[in-house]
Amino acid sequence: MKNICVIGLGSMGMGMAKSLFRAGFNVTGVDTQTKAVEQFQQFGGQAATSLADYNNFDAVFLVVLNEQQTLDVLFGNKGIAKQLQSKCIVFGCATISPSGAKDIETQLKALAPNVFYLDAPISGGSEKSALGKLSILLSGHKDAQEQARPYLDAISEKCFPLGNDVGTASAMKAVNQLLAGVHIAAMAEALVFAASQNIEPKLFLETISQCAGTSWMLENRAPHIVEGDYTPKSSVNIWPKDLSIVKDIAEKSHVDIPLARTALAQFMEASQNGLGNEDDAAVAKIYAQKSGITLPS
């Protein structure tokens, strides 16, 4: 039986760990929050007790917040890189810059030349993670990708192989986040605009979701506004981080992204106004506040 470690048992990582466990793998969960680890143990998973445990893993999924946390886990004071066994596959699942992904691969090769690093950002949200139906963008060593297939099949509905170069998958994730962030902001803007014309949010959703102006984000996020329920499936705070990555990449590439910059500003304002831990659909509250519109509660 293959031994898998999932580091980061948050809204995405917990679902991934449970999906791997259900698929028959021996799964160890790691998180700074003791309650998350205990929850996974109650499900049947294991907890790491020391750095020595990391010498037993065939694969490690890093489902952490950002590039810095990825670096800390691998190369920090209690970094695991030197502990990993030969042929172990490390999956970098956080949204980071392409250059950051390449730097991580380079550092890992220097410390553990026989360990593979795959650029593997994830998409789909907590609900799809819980169902084992994520979308995974994948690039890196060809042989490692082939060896990783059983693990990826356990957690994903779709896996997109994007070549053998680490960084390509992170670049594609940035493209996805540009579109997703803009679509959420556009949905919020359109819903508030509709409300200003005496169109109720429920009617807006029922109608526009069947018209050419719809989007996956409209169909997925607008119901949260209609129901007045901002329990986070994906929080506002994700978007200042991810769209800032998009902005940085664009600036280095001399590409103008006016729509993404506008969406970034809206999410930053939402976060600064205390909405950071609410569902990202709560960006609509910023539009509504500025327009004197009352949303469902």
Catalytic residues: 173
Confirm if 239 and 263 have CB atoms less than 8 A apart: yes
What number of other Cβ atoms are within 10 A of residue 1's Cβ? 7
What number of other Cβ atoms are within 10 A of residue 203's Cβ? 12
* 78 HSE (CA, 13 A, CB side): 8
Q: Which helix H or strand E contains 62, and what residues bound it?
A: strand 59-62
Q: Are strands 134-138 and 122-123 parallel, antiparallel or unpaired?
A: antiparallel
Q: Distance (Å, rounded) from C-alpha 56 to C-alpha 50?
A: 11
In the structure encoding, which two tokens stand for residue 72, read together?
Answer: 């800390």
